[in-house]
Amino acid sequence: KAGVTQTPRYLIKTRGQQVTLSCSPISGHRSVSWYQQTPGQGLQFLFEYFSETQRNKGNFPGRFSGRQFSNSRSEMNVSTLELGDSALYLCASSLIASNTEAFFGQGTRLTVV
- Applying CB under 8 A, the residues found at the interface with another protein are 4, 31, 33, 35, 42-45, 48, 50, 55-56, 58, 90, 92, 94, 97-107
Cα–Cα distances in angstroms (integers) from residue 101 to residues 43, 81, 106, in the given order:
17, 32, 16
Cβ 74 to another protein, closest distance in Å? Answer: 12
Minimum CB distance to another protein smaller for 58 or for 65: 58
Identity of the residue, 80 or 94, whose beta carbon is nearer to another protein in the bound complex = 94
Smallest CA-to-CA distance from 13 within 89, 106, 93, 85 is with 85
Helix H or strand E segment including 33: strand 31-38
User: In whole angstroms, how close is the CB of 91 to another protein at the nearest point?
Assistant: 8
CA distance to 47, 48, 57, 70, 109, per residue, from 54 (Å): 7, 6, 7, 13, 24
Compute the least distance from the CB of residue 26 to another protein, in Å: 12
Alpha-carbon distance of 3 to 77, in angstroms, equals 22
Nearest residue (CB) to another protein, 14 versus 98: 98
* Residue number, 50 or 64, with CB nearest to another protein: 50
